[in-house]
Amino acid sequence: MEDSILKSLLLRPGMEGREKDLEDMIHDSIIEMRGYLNYDDGEMLPEGCMPAVKELALIRFNQDGAEGLQSESQSSGGSITYTNILPDNVKRIIRRYRRLPG
């Protein structure tokens, strides 16, 4: 799963040369997803979770270097707001696979 997500993300503009960073972020995203879904360490996630893991890795990538910030203003008059909330499309995907803790 990690290799196919990495290959997919490397096709996006601005990702060239960031392979090691992306590998680390994908790995962390899979661990976080396993925890949320109540899967055991090392247990393979369903293939249907791949888009959610990819989205989580992209969120990590975009927020890299901005940890702890909630928003920032730019001199050009724009602003950037960071969120810790998963997008609704990701929530819909992972709800299908979440196991009850037991």
DSSP 33-45: HHHHHTPPTTPPP
- Can you read off the two tokens belonging to residue 37? 């879904």
Q: Contacts from 10-16 at CB under 8 Å and sequence distance 24+?
A: none
Question: How much is the average pLDDT of 24-32?
Answer: 95
Predicted confidence (pLDDT) at residue 67 exceeds the cutoff of 60: no
Supply the pTM of this predicted model. 0.80
Instruction: Kindly report the length of the chain.
Output: 102
Contacts of residue 86, defined as CB under 8 A and 6 or more positions apart, other chains included, come to 56, 59, 94
Of 24-28, 77-81, 91-95, least confident by mean pLDDT is: 77-81
Give percent of the chain with pLDDT exceeding 70. 86
Domain ranges within the chain, ordered by starting residue? 2-95
Q: How far apart are CA 55 and CA 85, in angstroms?
A: 12
- β partners of residue 71: 81
